Amino acid sequence: MMLLKIMAGVAAALALVSCAPAAPFHPERFGEDPTLPKDVLLFIKPAWYRHASLDSLAHWFQHFGWDHGFNVDTTDHPEIFNSDDLGRYDVVVFLSTTDLGNALNDDQKASLAEWYRKGHGIVALHAAAVHHQTWDWWARLVGCDFNSDSDRSRARLLVDPEASNHPAVKGHSPDLWIEEEWLCYDRSVSDIPGVKVLLRLDESTYEPVRKKFQGNGGKPMGKDHPAAWCREVDGGRFFYSALGHDVRALSTPFGRQHLLGGLSWVTQATPGRGAPVSSTSPQGALR
């Protein structure tokens, strides 16, 4: 009976751990690529719409880290956004964290911005660019907000010729066909100083605005429809991709390389690099 009580206590303690480090699935690969992060925090708490696929995406991401030699801690607890806990991570990934400004309190926001400015990296996926006007710093880091989206559609993406050597797209055809639920944004990020657009959608190959939004202010973006971009700004590195509504696009060969390339690129941030966005730019200065 005493043994059963001890075992029950251990099980209960384990259940309370929201961010336990994962044991690598392929230990022989650990450290194989020095450009990749060693420790990644995956945050999956939305404050607005919650995608039904978040749990399966988090599970997939955990195995993705194991397969490529880095640890992934997954949580929906915003309390981890403090200087001590954030200091353990090279990269923070925000996965469809709609309305991030209402998911974190003021102290947690300040801790994230301070950590980022010390030369760390942020990866934002899919709906991490949705409904975030409640936090000025994050809105300006992303550079745009949500307008509408499409049904799941197979669409043609074009690699920006000036970005063809970026690790998130390098080695792939200049045009790709990917099936995903694509987002339309309220503006293009192409004219924001320091932003490098990696992929653009060809709207002639799919219907960019689904029926729900067609009569509700939804607008296609036209020829300049970014789907992935990056920037080195305010001391850190930021990478965004529209992929990640569910696991299907990310688990393709391109999706895996695209995500690995983004993680690798933000991991190489250098403290002090990337001056703050000019206050005269469309998005203002990061603060």
Check residue 279 and give its pLDDT: 36
Query: What does the pLDDT look like over 260-270, one tens digit per residue?
Result: 999 999 998 76
% of residues, the chain, pLDDT over 70: 79
* CA proximity to 100, closest of 167, 145, 161, 33: 145
* Per-residue pLDDT reduced to its tens digit, 105-163: 999 999 999 999 999 999 999 888 887 678 999 999 999 998 888 889 999 999 999 99
11-20, 46-55, 86-95, 113-122: least confidently modelled range: 11-20
pLDDT in the model for residue 55:
83
pLDDT, tens only, 178-214: 999 999 999 999 999 999 999 999 999 999 998 888 8
Stated as kind and residue range, the H or E segment containing 75 is strand 71-75
- Predicted confidence (pLDDT) at residue 280 exceeds the cutoff of 90: no
Q: What is the mean pLDDT of residues 174-179?
A: 94
pLDDT in tens, 7-35: 444 344 333 334 434 333 333 343 457 78
Contact 169, 198 (CB under 8 A): yes
Distance CA 186, CA 209 (A): 13
| Mean pLDDT computed over every residue of the chain | 83
The Cα–Cα gap between 195 and 240 comes to 11
Query: Which of the pair, 47 or 277, is modelled with greater confidence?
Result: 47
Angle formed at CA 54 by CA 49 and CA 55, multiple of 5 degrees: 135
**Distance between CA atoms of residues 228 and 124, nearest Å:** 10
Q: How far apart are CA 211 and CA 231, in angstroms?
A: 33
Per-residue pLDDT averaged across 80-92, rounded?
96
The pLDDT value given to residue 277? 43
Q: Give 32's contacts (C-beta < 8 A, 6+ positions apart).
A: 68, 69
Side-chain-side CA neighbours of 257 within 13 Å: the count stands at 10
The whole-number pLDDT of residue 20 equals 39
